[in-house]
A and B are shown apart, each in its own frame.
Chain A
């Protein structure tokens, strides 16, 4: 299993839909929208048409992040070897880069290596790189600005130096908001908010000092959802806050470097195709044997206990796009609450270029996601707090403290998760910092593994039938 030593560098970002605690002073005249969505079905909005093939080409070849590392420095620092395997469809210089980087040329003519979506949205399963599968191994526990700055040692004077400095300054601005204390959890939403805090919503101009009160320094943990859910989801993100035109959310990674509307508009054009590509992705098929008989029993259990929220699959497929009240689902509320509790980022989004045709709408609830190939997406829940489906369906099996086995990482077809070790102690009990970082501690704020006890009432036999059925999705 490839492990990526330095995600610190490969930062990226994604989602909107949550924010800091503490009150944001509402701007004097605030025509921009701020609505807290009610639980229930999320209305489907028509999406812009696009070409999926062109969309994939954009994802793996284009510079939608417009600042980065000068190519020469990238090469001489040894980063070319930072990651395999290579992807199909990589053109020109892209073909020689690790899969989580794209090649582009800056306005000043400097060849740059920039990060792409696959840093977070691609992962290995049984030796294959699956594009669209969230990466649960990323390590955001180190300050990324250190490596960004160190790369300067390989940068030539002149235009490359200026290009590097712009990028390194952006990393330094968001670094304090993206350092997690647990390997595997993702800070993308928080670092997106940190970027928003520096930008003028009207012009997208960057200011060195934040214009809005920044988000909290400690990012809440999120896991990276699989892209293939977007075939069915009416709204993006765990709390369903990404309503309206999905293109505008999917292109938010450009918030790192895009400083004017002209550039943003060009990227939005490209991302019509990217959206079409993401919405066209099919989930992978379960690679191990399935007990069809048992799965058929499980289908019945699913229809009785789960389909009401998660929809039905197979021939008479139906997905209800339900936003479930926090009280009902009972999972860790911190992520949903944070989004609701501060308005300033939502207001910024809704009146900015990104909010044209889209409306971010936080809610006190989580979307019951489509469960296609859910067996591939461990650990589970929005915060990745439960290591396997077996444990999700039987809350007595959920470890309070656990650590994924990574040397090597091994898939367990009985429980549908990566093999892990349940521990008797949390981070505090461990002196070695490197070890402590690998422990998932569900007693910490935002890391809770409570709720979603819909499997508890089932019998042992029903649960194992259900697990078998989920393999067929």
Chain B
């Protein structure tokens, strides 16, 4: 447990290093200070671990959890426009707290929360994709989070209680997204901590909501089209959020399959091959409780060689699952301040003996 606490701290300190780097004056030299300089060493420590069990309340839990050290809202989906063109997107907003209370000073540390956002649009063609990253802090009012969700300037993910739906808005140089996302199931799947770690204190709570029906508009390179499709949301809060570190990579996969089933995997895996992958996968079949699949079931199709592995297999005979998962085409990492690969995947194989296919999203870090 102590290790986990420490791990959570280091992980968040790493994120903070990045955030600090950004929040320093633009003209400052590009040396990243030690985490302990960045941030009062015990800043994460002033936040208790979240309770062992979370009493979920919706829609309140769609909004921000200011008592929690860190939090993220993460949306990705696959869309088709009028002309049948595929477009895939991702918008994630991360929040990290600097202190429990909002300081009343006007200094640049007059900030309670720091934000980081990442936006990806995959236009479904070989001529590139769009990636943008943003930072914000609540001090200036331009970024923030509240009972409905979070925003960084004009990037936002919020829940609208009137329609019971989520709204995503984001624009950047070549891209503008304006989407409404309607759940197709009454409640999301709750996620307690980093699965597979056998600890009484989970470190985080949250939920995963696959099967959101999307409608709206996407503008890309000046061309605006109305789109429809399928998306998933993940929203997690707590003191320990999954980020790669040291010898461990973090690997995350979400699948949405055409038989209505969905998969979510979170895995820590040795960068140098070998070892016991930690974490697990959840399989959600319509009208059933989610089933946990041990992390070993999900592995790169080829030995790791230092590059991001973009071909994977999910194989669990006990669950009748055999899926091949791969990126539709070679694509470079988006070049964010946190080194990671994030993008659309396609998947085919069998679930419960039946042939299935679908789309998915893969996010890798620590390679």
Contacts and interface: CB of A to CB of B under 8 A. Distances in A.
A266 B274 CA distance: 30
Interface stretch (A22-30, A146-154, A338-346): A146-154
Interface size class of B (residues with CB under 8 A): 20 to 34
B305 interface: no
Given A153-B245, A153-B246, A164-B247, A146 B198 contact: yes
Contact of B7 (A6, A77, A82, A142): A77
Contact of B246 (A9, A146, A147, A156): A156
Interface in A151-197: 151-157, 161, 164-165, 168-169, 172
B268 interface: yes
A165 B3 contact: no
B200 interface: yes
Given A150-B7, A164-B247, A81 B2 contact: yes
A149 B275 contact: yes
A78 B275 contact: no
Given A5-B1, A5-B2, A150-B7, A142 B198 contact: yes
A73 interface: yes
> What does DSSP make chain A's interface, helix, strand, loop or mixed?
helix
Interface in B252-283: 268, 270, 272, 274-276, 278
B248 interface: yes
Max chain A Cβ within 10 angstroms of own Cβ: one of B247, B274, B275: B247
A172 B1 contact: no
B274 A149 contact: no
B339 to A, nearest CB: 14
Most buried by A among B200, B270, B276, B278: B276
Interface string B1-16: 1111111011100000
Interface residues of A, number: 31
A154 B270 CA distance: 12
A79 interface: yes
A145 interface: yes
Q: Which of B9, B196, B198 has the most CB of A within 10 A?
A: B198
Contact of B2 (A82, A156, A434): A82
Contacts of A82: 2
B251 to A, nearest CB: 14
A79 B247 contact: no
Contacts of B11: 153
- Which of B3, B272, B278 has most chain A Cβ within 10 Å? B3
Nearest 9 pairs between A and B by C-beta? A78-B6, A152-B247, A153-B245, A153-B246, A77-B6, A142-B198, A152-B248, A155-B246, A155-B247
Given A150-B4, A153-B268, A161-B272, 7 more contacts: A5-B2, A77-B7, A77-B10, A78-B5, A149-B278, A157-B247, A434-B200
